[in-house]
Amino acid sequence: LAKTTQPISMDSYEGQEVNITCSHNNIATNDYITWYQQFPSQGPRFIIQGYKTKVTNEVASLFIPADRKSSTLSLPRVSLSDTAVYYCLVAMNYGGSQGNLIFGKGTKLSVKP
Amino acid sequence: EPEVTQTPSHQVTQMGQEVILRCVPISNHLYFYWYRQILGQKVEFLVSFYNNEISEKSEIFDDQFSVERPDGSNFTLKIRSTKLEDSAMYFCASSQAGITDTQYFGPGTRLTVL
Do residues A8 and A74 make contact, with C-beta atoms less than 8 angstroms apart? Answer: no
Do residues A33 and A86 make contact, with C-beta atoms less than 8 angstroms apart? Answer: no
- Output the pLDDT for position A93: 46
Q: Strand pairing partners for B110?
A: B10, B89
**CA neighbours closer than 13 Å in the CB half-sphere of residue A109:** 28
Residue extents of the structural domains in chain A? 9-96+103-112
- Output the pLDDT for position A1: 57
Closest CA to A24 of A55, A62, A57: A62
Q: What is the pLDDT of residues B47-106, one digit of tens each?
A: 999 989 998 899 999 999 999 998 878 999 999 999 999 999 999 999 987 656 788 999
Task: Locate the chain B residue with the closest alpha carbon to A37.
Answer: B105
- Within 10 angstroms of residue A29's Cβ, the number of other Cβ atoms is 8
What total number of domains does chain B contain?
1
Q: Which of the pair, B1 or A96, is modelled with greater confidence?
A: B1
Amino acid identity of residue A94, one-letter, is Y
Domain presence at residue B8: no
Q: Helix or strand or coil: residue B85?
A: helix
Closest CA to B24 of B5, B8, B11, B1: B5
Under an 8 A CB cutoff, do B107 and A45 touch? Answer: no
- Output the pLDDT for position A96: 37
Write out the residue range of the structural domain in which residue B60 sits.
Answer: 14-113
- Output the pLDDT for position A2: 64
Separation between Cα atoms, residue B24 and residue B27, nearest integer Å = 8
Domain presence at residue B2: no
DSSP state string for A57-82 = -SS-EEEE-TT-SEEEEEESS--GGG
Domain presence at residue B54: yes
Q: Does residue A22 surpass a pLDDT of 90?
A: yes
- Output the pLDDT for position A95: 37
Q: Among A34-43, A58-67, B92-101, which stretch is predicted with the lowest mean pLDDT? A: B92-101
Q: Count interface pairs A-B at CB distance under 8 A.
A: 71
Separation between Cα atoms, residue B110 and residue B87, nearest integer Å = 8
Q: Which of the pair, B2 or A52, is modelled with greater confidence?
A: A52
Domain presence at residue B92: yes
Interface probe for B, chosen from A5, A98, A105, A108 (most Cβ of B below 10 Å), is: A98
Chain B residues in contact with chain A using a Cβ-Cβ cutoff of 8 Å: 4, 31, 33, 35, 42-45, 48, 50, 55-56, 58, 89, 91, 93, 95, 98-100, 102-108, 110
- CATH code for position B61: 2.60.40.10
Residues of B in contact with A96 (CB under 8 A): 98
Q: Which fold has domain A9-96+103-112?
A: Immunoglobulin-like (2.60.40)
